[in-house]
Amino acid sequence: MTRILGMFLYVTSLLAVLGTGAYIAQLIQVFPVEHLASYGPRIPAVAALNARWLPHAPTLLFGAAVVSVLAVAGIWRSRSQVSNRPFALAALAVANYFLSLYCSMTLLVAWFLLPRLANMG
């Protein structure tokens, strides 16, 4: 049962990482980096810093998914104890979920929320 739960968590985390990468790519295509200046003259330093790496977030997320799949293949083929495999899958799922949440929240805060708040008053 734990093997099935571990695989379920891992597969859904892979879907989350790949889906987040696709969603971020679409949002950045619709709202490019120049969008930050549309709220007003002030661009917060955090938004400017994140504007450098957020366009590369889909590549980062896809690379993380590939590394994660390679790690799972290595774990699955290893001769170690079977009881450790579900825990390793769950740990990789947590890392995938964290990357997905971090990139999506950074996009939300740095792309939309902070520039609007900086130019309100």
How confident is the model over 84-108, as pLDDT tens digits? 788 888 899 999 999 999 999 999 9
User: Which pLDDT does position 30 carry in this prediction?
Assistant: 95
What is Dmax (Cα atoms) for the chain? 62
Radius of gyration of the chain from its Cα atoms, rounded to whole angstroms: 18
Low-confidence ranges of the chain (pLDDT < 50): none
In degrees rounded to 5, what are phi and psi of residue 98?
A: -65, -45
Domain count for the chain, please give it: 1
User: Which pLDDT does position 84 carry in this prediction?
Assistant: 78
- pTM for the model stands at 0.88
CB neighbours of 65 closer than 8 A, spacing ≥ 6?
Answer: 14, 17, 18, 21, 96
Q: Show the domain range for 108.
A: 2-118
Alpha carbon separation from 36 to 32, 47, 87, 88 (Å, rounded): 8, 8, 42, 40
Q: How far apart are CA 2 and CA 87, in angstroms?
A: 9
User: Which pLDDT does position 121 carry in this prediction?
Assistant: 56
User: Which pLDDT does position 88 carry in this prediction?
Assistant: 85
